[in-house]
Amino acid sequence: MSTATEPDETYVADVCEFFDRQYAAHARYWWRGENRYRLEPDLHTPFNALVLKIAASHAPGRALDLGAGEGADTIRLAKLGYDVDAVELSSVACQKIEDFARQEKVAVTVLNESILDVALEEGAYNLVLFNGSLHYIRDKSAVLERALSASAPGAVHVVALFSTATALSAEHSAVPVFPEPEGGGVELFYRNWDIRLLTYERDQPEHSHPGFAPHAHSYIKLIAQRPEGHR
């Protein structure tokens, strides 16, 4: 098990090993509901509904899904007309993204790399997602800066990550996780952006992970648009 004093490459390997195992053990680890690839906002949670509405209003364009998991967000964005780059650490998940995208008859680009050091084209993306990935990153500011450099003027960023308002379950504590305090560095990073949504969800019941006992999470959920001319 990694500790906070171990180098980044050690904890990243632990995260990769955990998710390779989870993705290999289950046909679908995330988004097991039949709405996974649907584009109608009213079929989704309020947060994901708003993401879909905003994404649709900015399509077509280029999108970057950082920590894409099994690719549900990636595939929905591709269906909206985006040219999507999906960055995912787990090689098992990358194969699943490609398989699921093929089944849904959309083309996406899958990059089997860490979001810590993946090469990103400068100023290329109109939409950037960190949906459930930043809490697996210790130095969030460095990743956010790299995502900013890859963002076009007016780009929208979508962020959802664990907050510290609820203690992690034993199952999630088995992998290195770095929740964010409410009002912390991630929110400060976006303080000069146009905030479309900032909400705290506390003690939300979670039943979706196969093999995990019922537990609760708290989240910070944020949607922000980069102002034209913002550095």
Rounded to whole angstroms, how far apart are CA atoms 193 and 172? 31
pLDDT tier, 112 (very low <50, low <70, confident <90, very high otherwise) = very high
Rounded to whole angstroms, how far apart are CA atoms 215 and 200? 17
The more confident residue out of 105 and 4 is 105
Domain residue ranges in the chain? 8-225
What's the chain's average pLDDT? 91
Q: Percent of the chain scored above 90 by pLDDT? A: 79
> If you average pLDDT over residues 192-215, what whole number do you get?
85
Output the CA–CA distances (angstroms, integers) from residue 99 to 12, 72, 93, 136, in the order listed.
25, 12, 10, 25
pLDDT tier, 217 (very low <50, low <70, confident <90, very high otherwise) = confident
Superfamily of domain 8-225: Vaccinia Virus protein VP39 (3.40.50.150)
Which helix (H) or strand (E) is 111 found in, with range?
strand 109-111
What distance lies between CA 202 and its chain's CA centroid? 19
Rounded to whole angstroms, how far apart are CA atoms 33 and 75? 15
> If you average pLDDT over residues 93-111, what whole number do you get?
98
Q: CA-CA-CA-CA torsion for 13, 65, 158, 145, nearest 10 degrees?
A: 60
pLDDT tier, 208 (very low <50, low <70, confident <90, very high otherwise) = low
> If you average pLDDT over residues 127-135, what whole number do you get?
97
Burial class (CB in 10 A: 0-12, 13-18, 19+), 126: buried
Question: Is 78 a residue whose pLDDT tops 60?
Answer: yes
